[in-house]
Structure 1
Amino acid sequence: MDTRATAVLKAGNNAVITGGASGIGLAAAQRFAAHGLNVALADLSQEKLDDAVRLINEQTPDVNAQGYCCDVSDFSQVRDFANSVSAEFGDVSILMSNAGTLLPTGKSWENIDQWRKLVDINLWGVIHGVQAFVPSMLESGKEGIVVNTGSKQGITKPPSAFAYNLSKAGVIAFTEGLAHDLRSVEQPKISAHLLVPGFTYTGMISQFLPEKPAEAWTSDEVVDFLLERLDRGDFYIICPDNDVSEEMDAKRIQWYADDLIQGRPALSRWHPDFADAFKAHMES
């Protein structure tokens, strides 16, 4: 049976990927190109973009791959990027907003400039992508897919990176709203999906870990899982990794939800009074 994923993963269609010069974004671009899609990559580094485009051209010489320097936190740049893509490629079938960063922000009351920069990239970058590309995707009348990259930290919100958690929680809420809006239009042909990678060894992670840990997935494994779940039509695409299974993720998410339902303290998973209860929950 044809799905929206099979409808858009066709030769000659066009895909846009922000954060496309490395990691999950580049792996997705390579996979889309292997299906015959033309790919437009946005990133901050022209050098990395040139390398990514060169790699895709070597692997799939029949597709049109282009790189665009773009700061997704600046809507005027994203709008210019969208105009350039329209002129070069025409209609867009896949929009993947994947650009993101992790910055040291400290406590909730510290480093306001770092907080703002992180949220501008991780959350506003996704909003800017949708605002710049989705109207023309709707106007085209063609099947389309929007994939926004979230994080498990936006769901369970572990301590130590609260600004990052905030930004990714915002991506989740925004993408849920986008999915509702898209299915509410007359004759909906575009769907939204939330990609939630597990522990993945990307360029962002390599800043802190020079070698890939055994428990981490590769970007290619994440894209494999993404395409499998897109083919099923899933909205929440929550990836396991080599250490955390889907069952473990489900239990952690259930514990977080039960904080709200049972009136436990915020982030009780990391509260010493609940350590034994959380351990028992995970072992049940």
Structure 2
Amino acid sequence: MIQLDLTGQVAVVTGGSSGIGLATAELFLHAGASVAICGRDSDRLARAERELRERHPQAQLLAARCDVLDAADVAAFASEVEKRFGRADMLVNNAGQGRVSTFANTTDEAWREELDLKYFSIIRPTRAFLPMLRNAANQGDGNAAIVCVNSLLALQPEPHMVATSSARAGVLSLIKSLAVELAPEHIRVNSILIGIVESGQWRRRYEADGEAQAAGQSWEDWTRELARKKHIPLGRFGRPEEAAQALFYLATSLSSYTTGSHIDVSGGVARHV
């Protein structure tokens, strides 16, 4: 197993208070990096910080409330990271959830909300941390990287998620454009394309399923049944740590010759070659 020492490097994870973001922050801390996480929900963020500090008592950790769609919040978060750590080497853009809607029932307002979330959850943090990433890239053998959590919907759209699918495809193009633009500055930009990954959103759907609750169906059985219905070849949902491992690879020097690319983390559900 490759052991990577990230001591002296700083990783920033948006949406870091739960799920994939929290699992990613944990991997960075385990490798010795200083980590800054942010999230909109103050209570959830406090719980995440407490959990991380319990597991990593010596951690160099910053947890700050931040809405990535608020330019002032993002600027303040970047300023706080610079004041605390003096640098940022890796930025993980991880925010947003899917919107279930068809073209017929998606309003203009819903379209704007979806496009705003998917684009600006990447644009604003990237813009705010880019000066620090440039500095990191210029420091000898420095590693500077941006990694974004995207969805398989970018390549394999679903009609019942028309707005999200469209936005995800646009984000894939944005990431490729950023990779080309920033490559001469030695800043790598990549993404992962996730399928269904266990999350609070899916837990809430399970708890709201009256039939499953009445039958005493376990979470494991419920997700396996849903995976079968959705034709996921591996027969289960992904786990946050599995997506996190792909993010960690793309954010670190393990992928030093990779940019403008994506890793499929969908359990084999992708139909494209």
TM-score range, shorter chain: 0.7 to 0.9
Q: Is the 8 A contact 2:24 2:247 kept in 1?
A: no
Tell me if structure 2 keeps the 8 A contact 1:18–1:97.
yes
- 2:194 alignment partner in structure 1: 197
Return 5+ residue gaps in structure 1 as ranges. 255-284
Describe the superposition over 1:35-90 as per-residue Cα deviations: whole angstroms up to 9, x where unpaired: 11111111110111111111111111111222111111122211111111111111
Aligned pairs (5 A) from 1:1-284: 10-107=6-103, 110-140=106-136, 141=138, 142-185=142-185, 188=186, 190-210=187-207, 211=219, 213-214=223-224, 215-228=236-249, 231-232=254-255, 233-234=257-258, 235-241=261-267, 244=268, 249=270, 252-254=271-273
Provide Cα deviations, 1:154-200, integer angstroms capped at 9, x if missing partner: 11111111111122112211111111112133xx2x21111112221
TM-score, normalization by structure 2: 0.80
Q: What secondary structure does 1:92 align onto?
A: coil
Provide the alpha-carbon RMSD of the alignment. 2.2
What does residue 278 of structure 1 align with?
none
Aligned identity (percent) is 25
Give the 3-state SS of the residue equivalent to 1:208 in structure 2: helix
Map Cα deviations across residues 242-264 of structure 1 (whole Å, 9 max, x no partner).
xx2xxx52xx224xxxxxxxxxx
How many residues are treated as equivalent by the alignment?
A: 239
Query: Structure 1 173/207 Cα, relative in aligned 2: closer, same or farther at 3 Å?
Result: farther
Q: Which moved more, 1:103-112 or 1:161-170?
A: 103-112
Per the alignment, residue 215 of structure 2 pairs with none
TM-aligned CA deviation for residue 109 of structure 1? 6.5
Contact 1:108/1:162, CA 8 A, preserved across alignment: no
Is the contact made by 2:24 and 2:248 (CA closer than 8 Å) also made in structure 1?
no
Residues of 2 paired with 1:16 and 1:82: CA distance?
A: 9
TM-score (norm 1): 0.77
CA shift, 1:240, in A, is: 3.5
Aligned equivalents of 1:19, 1:130: Cα separation in 2: 14
1:102 positional shift: 2.5
Which consecutive unaligned segments of at least 5 residues does structure 2 have?
208-218, 225-235
SS in 2 for 1:157: coil
Is contact 2:89-2:132 (8 Å) kept?
no
| Moved segments of 4+, more than 6 Å | none
Relative distance call for 1:65 and 1:108 in structure 2 (3 A) is farther
8 Å contact from structure 1 (residues 101, 118) kept in 2: no
* Counterpart code for 2:47: D
Q: Give 1:280's aligned residue.
A: none
Q: Which has the higher contact order (CA 8 A, sep 6+)?
A: 2
- The residue type equivalent to 1:224 in the other structure is Q
